[in-house]
Every structure is written in C-alpha cells, then in structure tokens.
Amino acid sequence: LIEKDKCFMYNFFKSQAIPFVPIYGDFSDEVAATGALTSILRSSGNTKESMIFIKACHLTQGSDNGTLIVKMEADLLGRKNSRGFQEKLSAAKAWIKQKLRQKPSDPWRPWSKSMKKLLETVKAGIMIQKGFGGPSETAMAAMGLLPKPIEAKVEVLWGRAYLAFLHDYKVFAFRDCR
C-alpha cells in the first residue's frame, strides 16, 4: 500500500524518521478535511505557508489529478472575508468533496486488471501539507509559475533499481552511471 496511499506512505516516513515537508493532518471525511482547510487558510499569513498542498491520499496515478495547490495572494489574506478568499476556499472545498468520492483507477497499464483489487482496498483520504518552494523558486516565480516539488522516480526491475530520474526536470541516472 505504500505506493498507492499517500497517507500511509507519509505515516511510514514518520515512523522511520524520514524527513518530509510538515503535514497539517490527514482526514478520512469531508467535514474534518474542509474544516481543517478553513482553519489553516484563515490562520495563514503572507508567507510560503499561505500556499498549501491538498492531496487525495488514495489517488496516486497522475491521471487522477490527486494534488491541488492552493495559494492565497497577499491581498486575499488581508481580507479573509472577501469574495475572492471565499471563492478560493469554496473551490478547494469542492475539490476535496469530489476527490473523496473519486475511485482510484489505473486502466492504461498492462497490470490494471490485477491492480484493481489492490486499489479497491485503499480508503479515500485527504492530506493537507504545508507549502514549500521548489528547486528554482525564483526562476519559476519570474515565469509566473507556482514553485513545485521535485518528484524523484526510481524504476525497478526484478528488485534492482536500473533507472532514477527527476520528474519534469529531464535529469536521469542509470545503474551503470551512463
């Protein structure tokens, strides 16, 4: 389950003292998740903490769009009862509601039929994580983009890693160093 449930994975990281960006909490129901979201956004200042990541723990396939970045601009944070703030908050709440009802699926891969049984065991959940800058936060901001994390992927064949790469950055490392 560590690969197919983000909440399980982060709890594993915590139990093994593996560092990660702090998490406000993980939630299995809509009321708790949206209540926490409202509280977090209302208490945030105009810092990196005003950007948060909301992750659907059970949706790990890229096609499921299981992560939402919520960034509150300084003008909205100064007016937390404003229409713009309420619209962003409502949109994030609607996303949470939709994702908690969405079933994980992986239909485009050759193992999708056998994977379906595993995916059916994963419970829906929402995790809210503190914001953090990516590796080139200044350059991304200059292009009008939100900072994003580096996603490292490792391809394994018969229990041996043969390829590692940084997703979206076109940096590859092969087992034989080529």
Among 80-84, 110-114, 152-156, the least confident range: 80-84
- Who's near 155: CB < 8 A, 6+ residues apart? 161, 162, 163, 164
d(Cα 155, Cα 71) in Å, to the nearest integer? 32
Half-sphere exposure of 62 toward its Cβ, with a 13 Å CA cutoff? 6
The yes-or-no verdict on residue 52 having pLDDT over 50 is yes
Backbone angles phi, psi at 130, to 5 degrees: -60, 155
d(Cα 33, Cα 42) in Å, to the nearest integer? 14
d(Cα 37, Cα 82) in Å, to the nearest integer? 17
3-state helix, strand, coil in the chain (%, to 5): 40, 20, 40
The model carries a pTM of: 0.75
pLDDT digits (tens, 9 = 90+) for 36-47: 998 888 777 555
Angle between helices 83-101 and 30-43 in degrees, nearest 10: 150
Band of residue 50 on the pLDDT scale cut at 50, 70, 90? low
Band of residue 54 on the pLDDT scale cut at 50, 70, 90? very high
104-118 mean pLDDT = 79
- Output 150 or 125, whichever has higher pLDDT: 125
